[in-house]
């Protein structure tokens, strides 16, 4: 047992609203958690900033990071690599701070193997039609990419059984409240509280 921060993994199909909910949680200032910026070979969308939304790298750079054992997890998703740089996550957890990963399901399962004491939350859409509407309304993907993402979504939703919690993102404030409640509850689990006391008494 250690005094590490809590690793929170938020997954769910593309377009369900993970980024929107994460942003709302940050604005809510509910809890001091740190977002792990992922690395990707996808091209930036208009308005996306390197080092803020993603670290945008070439395929060669990404593969070099894998070869260097620099990734906590990674996956290929609709023609691109996506992954979590390990260094930031470890440093932040070691400093006793919570870290939020916003990743797809293949990567989440790798994290589950490596960090079984993480909290795994699956964000679901109210239904698949609404999911398609959200991706379409976002306006960042062409029709072929939307179809590929929707095709993936059906398989991803089947993976929900591997998560600790499912949260429906019907209305953003509701989804935020549900996730905050989960995190609060997880912080009150006895092994974590004992951990905190050990820290207080210097054990």
Residue numbers at the binding site for ligand LQESDW3C (CB under 6 A): 14, 18, 38, 42, 73, 75, 77, 82-84, 102-104, 106-107
Judged by CB under 6 A, the stretch of 29-37, 59-67, 130-138, 188-196 that binds ligand ATP is: 130-138
Residue 14 marked in a binding site: yes
The answer to whether residues 152 and 14 touch, using CB atoms and an 8 Å cutoff, is yes
Chain position whose Cβ is nearest to ligand ATP: 17
Cα–Cα distance measured from residue 118 to residue 7, given in angstroms and rounded to the nearest whole number: 5
The answer to whether residues 65 and 78 touch, using CB atoms and an 8 Å cutoff, is no
Nearer to ligand LQESDW3C, 38 or 169 (CB): 38
CA of 164: how far to CAs of 61, 106, 125, 145, in Å? 33, 16, 17, 29
CA dihedral 42, 128, 28, 88 (to 10 degrees): -30
* Cβ at position 171, least distance to ligand ATP in Å: 5
Nearer to ligand ATP, 20 or 106 (CB): 20
Q: Answer with the entry of ligand ATP, ligand LQESDW3C, none that 107 interacts with (C-beta below 5 to 8 A by kind).
A: ligand LQESDW3C
The answer to whether residues 176 and 25 touch, using CB atoms and an 8 Å cutoff, is yes
36 sits near ligand ATP (criterion: CB under 6 A): no
Judged by CB under 6 A, the stretch of 54-62, 82-90, 168-176, 179-187 that binds ligand ATP is: 168-176
Find how far residue 125's CA is from the centre of its chain.
16
Could you say which DSSP state residue 128 is in? Answer: H
127 sits near ligand ATP (criterion: CB under 6 A): no
Q: Which of 6, 7, 8, 16 binds ligand ATP (CB under 6 A)?
A: 16
Cα–Cα distance measured from residue 85 to residue 88, given in angstroms and rounded to the nearest whole number: 7
The answer to whether residues 93 and 114 touch, using CB atoms and an 8 Å cutoff, is no
Residue ranges for the known binding site for ATP are 12-19
Residue ranges that bind ligand ATP, judged by CB under 6 A: 12, 14-20, 134, 137-138, 169, 171-172
């Amino acid at each position: 047992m250690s005094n590490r921060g809590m690793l929170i993994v938020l997954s769910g199909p593309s377009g369900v609203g993970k980024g929107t909910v994460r942003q709302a949680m940050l604005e809510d200032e509910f809890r001091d958690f740190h977002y792990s910026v992922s690395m990707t070979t996808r091209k930036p969308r208009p308005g996306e900033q390197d080092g803020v939304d993603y670290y945008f790298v070439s395929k060669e750079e990404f593969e070099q990071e894998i070869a260097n054992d620099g990734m906590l997890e990674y996956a290929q998703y609709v023609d691109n690599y996506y992954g979590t740089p390990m260094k930031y996550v470890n440093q932040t957890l070691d400093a006793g701070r919570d870290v939020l990963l916003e990743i797809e399901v293949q990567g989440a399962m790798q994290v589950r193997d490596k960090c079984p004491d993480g909290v795994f939350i699956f964000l679901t859409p109210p239904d698949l039609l609404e999911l398609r509407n959200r991706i379409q309304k976002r306006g960042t993907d062409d029709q072929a990419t939307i179809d590929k993402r929707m095709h993936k979504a059906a398989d991803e939703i089947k993976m929900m059984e591997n998560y600790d919690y499912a949260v429906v993102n019907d209305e953003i404030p509701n989804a935020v409240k549900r996730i905050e409640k989960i995190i609060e509850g997880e912080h009150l689990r006895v092994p974590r509280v004992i951990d905190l006391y050990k820290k207080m008494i210097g054990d």
